[in-house]
Structure 1
Amino acid sequence: MAAETRPLPLPPAVAPDWALFLDVDGTLLDFADTPGDVHVEPGLVDTLAVLHGRLDGALALVSGRRLMQLDALFAPLQLPAVGLHGLERRDDGHLDIHHRAPALDDVLAAALALTSKYPGALTEDKGTAIALHWRGAPAAEEPIHEFATSALIDLPGYHLQPGNRVIELRPDGAHKGAAVLSLLAKPPFHGRRPVFVGDDLTDEHGFTAVTCHGGFGVLVGRRQPSAARYALHDPMAVRAWLDDAIAITE
């Protein structure tokens, strides 16, 4: 019998010397059947704007979404942000975007053909990456995994990144931990205590990165094992935690 895992404690209140890195889906926002159906709760944009100011700009979104999607979700706010797990990055007004692999077009066409057979499944074209979702079609999980594994043959330099009812084909060397480290090397993040909040397997790289630099991770949910030190139950709890940070400093 596996040993029982003890629940992680709640995180401390947001401190003014932190560099705060926030995942989006499953962390700030509740999941939806498709990425386009997510809802930004009233007041969240204002909360993020206030915290961004009070942390002297050291607050960034770190997401699997594209930067243009993040900007649309949180408009009119434009925060420092990492998109596509590190393939896109914006800081100090500088935009860094990786280019699309030519072979990805053929893989995308085959992925679209596969997911069209399973109502509720979705192929998401992320430009330099492809994500295959089965949240709305559980029966598609096995064929999607088989397809993604075989597709790597035609995509040298790519790897599979599993997530919460999604798997992505992504270029090697790009993950949330590496992206966080690149931001920590520059103002306004440099010299602050880094804290990463996320829910998914893709966020474990972020937890490890901030822990190695004197910070800690906050897991959203109860998934174990995790490199996070603290936990919050769900996105609602994350939003309440951020709101409390504003109330404390007012």
Structure 2
Amino acid sequence: MLGIFSAVGSFISGVVSTVGSFIASSATRLVTRLPEVVLVARVVIDVIATVISKVAEVLGIAPKDENPEELGAKSMQEGTRPRSDFESTQEYLDYLRKDVKLDEEKYAKMCPEQKIACSVLGTTMVAKSIEEKTGVELPPEFLETIYKSKLRHDQVERCINSFADNGISSMGEMTKYITNDLSEDEASKVGGVIKDSLKELSPSMTDAEIQQEIVAMKRSYNESQY
């Protein structure tokens, strides 16, 4: 029997021609960061998908309460046109939203691994559309950090915009900050932007309380069970 990495990865590889190699590659990289146990992987991707979908909604590039898993399923359906080389991810997502009807019968018959693949793919596409909107990369390791550090959507959205304003091009830098993988100078810059972002969200918080919140993020990441 195929493990979850092989099963989900193989399913995603089948849609490379539709969504493009970059999206499929990013989705596969995210899969390798998920737990091997299907039920746990389901929980992890659901948390990530919910946060990313909400961030996209706040940014005005996704409808309210969208289910990324359904977007992924639509992209895999027979008859769905491939993404054009000249088309942005946002334009392709709008095509899936408006012009592709979900095949409810086939969707209901998907196995758990296939539905995880759909969720990973849909979440990756929405994350890419956020990248296009903000100019800040959301790599798979950061998407994983959303779950491990228990980040809220408002924290993610505020930090993305603050990173953009401060010339930090990847949210992977936030993951490196949380995991203490930055140089002293880099940590000072990235940490300062994160602290300012949290202060903007909660102006009444003291510097000590903000620092405690960051420590909690790091502790949660380190104590994650996978």
Shared fold, TM over 0.5: no
How high is the TM-score relative to the length of structure 2?
0.24
How high is the TM-score relative to the length of structure 1?
0.22
